[in-house]
Structure 1
Amino acid sequence: MIDAPNDIYLDWIRDALKQPGKTQVGLAAHLGIAHPQITQLLKGKRKLKVHEIPKIAAYLEVDPPGSELSPSTAKWVQARKAGVVAAGLFREVDEFDQSEPEEISVPRDENFPNARQLTFEVEGDSMNELRPRPILPGDTIVATAYEDIADRVVLRDGMVVVVQRSRDGGQMREWSVKQIEIYEDRTEFHPRSSNPKHKPIIVQRQFDADDGASVEVIAVVRMVLNTMPGY
């Protein structure tokens, strides 16, 4: 968190949000946090975090005040715990969650050092036969936010990603891990499982799923973590 006078940065954000097309809702989405947290920040009820400054500057398209808060070159960075990935399980989206996101330290993605890192807890056996290394129930996956790298990374065969599937006007959401297969007229997101109940998500060129749900890639899996029991 920032120990320097917060008002300097809050004034910077307030002024930049007056630009056409720049909104608190858009800024919250860019940071991957709930909109009420931006309201709390601008009221001085929430501390601005150092690692948020480059992302805020990128959204606002305005350089932050001062240069002492340049992006860290540390080997470890903070990653937000995004939630649970579980194939076939739709959960209601809580748009009014104002809780502070929990974070853990993870190795920096050296290929994309300024992109957000997210972690997801794995439930179920939908990727228990992924090769060369399966993703098992209880694993934690570390992933790079695809929104931050989409202009540099093209989805390709074999890539393992976190897929968001939404329905009911966005009120219900499923997050799952899948492996990409790309064809001329469609993209398929496949489970790699010994359990036959898990089926691929097939998306035509318009990126609408074959079951009418909307689909998007939200993160690219970069690492799998697990803690041995008994420690």
Structure 2
Amino acid sequence: MRFMTWWKRLDQRRIELGWSGAELARRAGIPYANINKYLNGKIEQPRGEEMQKLASAIGKSALWLRDGLELSDVEAAPIEGRLLPVAVVGKVEAGTFREVDDMDQSERELLSLPADDRFPSARLMAFDVSGDSMNELRPRPILPGDRVICVSYEDVAHEAPLRDGMVVVVERSRDGGQTREWSVKQIELYQDRTEYHPRSTNPKHKPIVVPRDPDADTGTLVEIIGLVRRVVNDLPF
């Protein structure tokens, strides 16, 4: 189930439980119209409490529902010197939108890494870097072939509010969540907007600008999914 889209996991679990869509809606406390759209992949991944409500209703964790990972795999209490399994979630490449199914179907590589020293309880994730959108980041560029190691921003947002200079992995989705782009950006905060900037010698890369106006609708959803904590590049042996 790990490499399904989240709504396929939800639907398969619903079938395992012998529930109709209406029964799932009743148990989760979510309107049936929304449940129907979720089960048909017409609404991208729900945010906040709705994901947790769905997970609780089907007897699973939000991590399992969203990513197909069991809590025991990634959220065990860190022990000094102990390595944790960390999934290589996919590729970050500015300007490249991919179908969600294409991103989710291939088997993920697992790394063994220590827990983050600043956020020891946060989930870790890794991304392979493609393209030159961060080749002028200072003090250390992020280059094609690098791998960025992140903590889940959902897990640390309460401890690490957005600030200028923060380097993050941004998910930009469109077409009702059917296509998405993952890219590394550096944050610039302004009174009326947040800007996610490439740091590149290539002028084709442009910042993502998100107005603070909650009613603004650009047709594209922008969400921070990872806070970059390390950049590594293993030499071939």
- TM-score normalised over the length of structure 1: 0.71
Indicate the residue corresponding to 1:27 in structure 2: 61
Task: Work out the number of aligned pairs and report it.
Answer: 187
Q: What is the correspondence of 1:189-200 to structure 2 with a 5 Å cutoff?
A: 189-200=196-207
Q: Select 1:50's aligned residue among 72, 77, 83.
A: 72
1:144 aligns with 2:151: yes
Aligned partners of 1:85 and 1:121 also within 8 Å = yes
1:71 aligns with 2:77: yes
Q: Please give the secondary structure, in 2, of the residue aligned with 1:147.
A: helix
- Alpha-carbon separation, structure 2, partners of 1:24 and 1:223: 35
Q: Cα 1:221–1:73, aligned 2, differ >3 Å: closer, same or farther?
A: same
- TM-score normalised over the length of structure 2: 0.69
Provide structure 2 residue ranges, at least 5 long, that are not aligned to the other structure.
1-16, 18-23, 30-52
CA RMSD of superposed structures (Å)? 3.0
Aligned partners of 1:161 and 1:218 also within 8 Å = yes
Q: What is the correspondence of 1:27-176 to structure 2 with a 5 Å cutoff?
A: 27-29=61-63, 32-34=66-68, 50-52=72-74, 54=75, 71-75=77-81, 76-94=83-101, 97=104, 101-176=108-183
Aligned partners of 2:90 and 2:103 also within 8 Å = no
- Alpha-carbon separation, structure 2, partners of 1:96 and 1:28: 19
Equivalent position amino acid for 1:162 in 2? V
- Alpha-carbon separation, structure 1, partners of 2:148 and 2:64: 21
In proportion to residue count, which structure has more helix? 2
Provide structure 1 residue ranges, at least 5 long, that are not aligned to the other structure.
1-13, 38-47, 55-69
Equivalent position amino acid for 1:203 in 2? V
- Alpha-carbon separation, structure 2, partners of 1:194 and 1:141: 20
